[in-house]
Structure 1
């Protein structure tokens, strides 16, 4: 049991270390040696857990998706679909600001040279696509419950929300004010009234 716990801790340390290095240097420039050194383990220990840098990047992306899923599941449990999208957007941006694993997981979906193995890696999860699918599902529920204003396209609304949140993510990599709660509030002050049947 102690060995398993130590192995789990080492694996998590490697994922976090990799996220930090990927966030700072990008996938292409990050080295296995830098990641293992930062995690405080040997290259051999790293390779025991992950067969390659690509496998490590995929683990970072999966971890980012898991964090976002836990957050969105929590929102769905207590909020209606439209309010849930608002709250989840705030939650995602906060996690992008505070959690290097989420930030790196999303960034690994970005520029082609930072994609582990290219744009479509078999078995690789894409946090941006997961986020988009969740937004589309919630807006579909909002439409079914007559919460959207007349004439609102769920697809168009989903595209605008996803584009904005990915924009916050990308711009926040250079200027942290984009990952501020007030920035998201201003977005929703503009977006929500024409979106909501109640004109909220």
Structure 2
């Protein structure tokens, strides 16, 4: 059991070290030597767990996908409108991208031209937005004439744009940035009754937000 626990810890350390290297240097420049050093393990230990840098990148994407499911679950709190759930999900995503290097690196790897994504985080996020937008439509929360496709296009384009720009400037991932986006979008997206009760700043508070 002790060996298994050490193996799990080593693997987790390597995934995090790889994410940090990919985030700072990019997939192409990041080296296995630097990753193993950052993780505090030998090159042999790295190769025991991962045969290549590509395999490490796949593992980072898988870990990021797990984090995304936690950050943006398909169901919201009881009594929360479907549209509020979508607003909250975008705030949680921005916050997690600021604070979680594994999630951030997973998204960055989705746009890496040097490799084919194993788990495309940007596409996974798009799919989650589409499911939530469809629920908004089904519950009658969208303004007449607003289609699911239009909601998905607007929300995904903006949030992925914030993610890309946030790599260099974290202000793009700040709560205020996401809030202003929703203040602009909600009047054209939501029915009047729903728009009046959806909070563009999100309906939750966490230690990382002010």
Q: Shorter-chain TM-score: which interval?
A: over 0.9
Match of 2:157 in 1: 163
**Counterpart-to-counterpart distance in 2, 1:111 and 1:187:** 27
Say if 2:74 and 2:128, in contact at 8 Å, map to a contact too: no
Tell me which residue corresponds to 1:103: 104
Is this contact kept in 2: 1:75–1:88, CA < 8 A?
Answer: no
| Matching of residue 187 in structure 1 with residue 181 in structure 2 | yes
Which segment is superposed worse, 50-59 or 190-199? 190-199
SS at match of 2:13: helix
- Number of residue pairs matched by the alignment: 193
The TM-score normalised by the length of structure 1 is: 0.92
The runs of 5 or more residues in structure 1 that have no matched partner are: none
- Give the corresponding residue for 2:86: 85
RMSD value, Cα: 1.3
The equivalent of 1:174 in structure 2 is 168
Superposed CA deviations along residues 139-195 of structure 1, whole A, max 9, x for unmatched, are 101101111110002111111101111111111111111110111000111111211
Unaligned runs of 5+ in 2: 197-210
Q: Which residue of 1 aligns with 2:57?
A: 57
| Per-residue CA distance 1:66-107 (angstroms, 9 max, x = gap) | 011012227524433211110000000001101100110000
Over 6 Å off, 4+ runs: none
- Give SS of 2:110's match: coil
Q: Distance in 2 between matches of 1:40 and 1:82?
A: 45
What's the counterpart of residue 3 of structure 1?
Answer: 3
Note the alpha carbon deviations across 1:8-45, whole angstroms, 9 max, x for none: 11111000000000001111111110100000001110
